[in-house]
Amino acid sequence: MAELDARGLNCPMPILKAKKALKDLAAGDTLKVVATDPGSVSDFSAFCRTTGNELVEQSEENGVYTYVIRKSA
């Protein structure tokens, strides 16, 4: 699984970097993103709903948010 460290970055960089990372993946591949921006909770859901990518998993621990996104076709 590809990984993206977006810790310390503020809006809109986690989304922009995730988009860029997804570009390099094949359909069906997954990307794990870690972020510290609390706004990313709402943003990654909205991003995935709009782009058709699947938000497979999301969790939070001590202010670090983890997302697993599966790339759509």
Partner 1 sequence: MSGEDAIAKQKQMTIIVTKGALDLAYPPFILATTAAAMNVNVSMFFTFYGLQLLKKDLGHLRVSPLGNPAMEMPLAGLHLTVPNAAAALPGMEALSTTLMRNLIKRKGVASIEELREAAIDSEVEMIACQMTMDLFEWTAADMVEGIVIGGAATYMEKALKSDINLFI
- Is residue 19 near partner 1 by the rule CB under 8 A? yes
Nearer to partner 1 (CB atom), residue 8 or residue 57: 8
Contacts of 19 (CB under 8 A, 6+ apart): 47
Contacts of 27 (CB under 8 A, 6+ apart): 71, 72, 73
45 counts as binding partner 1 under rule CB under 8 A: no
- Does 13 engage in binding with partner 1 (CB under 8 A)? yes
Site membership for partner 1, residue 64 (CB under 8 A)? no
Which of 11, 16, 56, 64 is catalytic? The answer is 11
Indicate the helix (H) or strand (E) that contains 23: helix 13-23
Q: Which residues are catalytic, by number?
A: 11
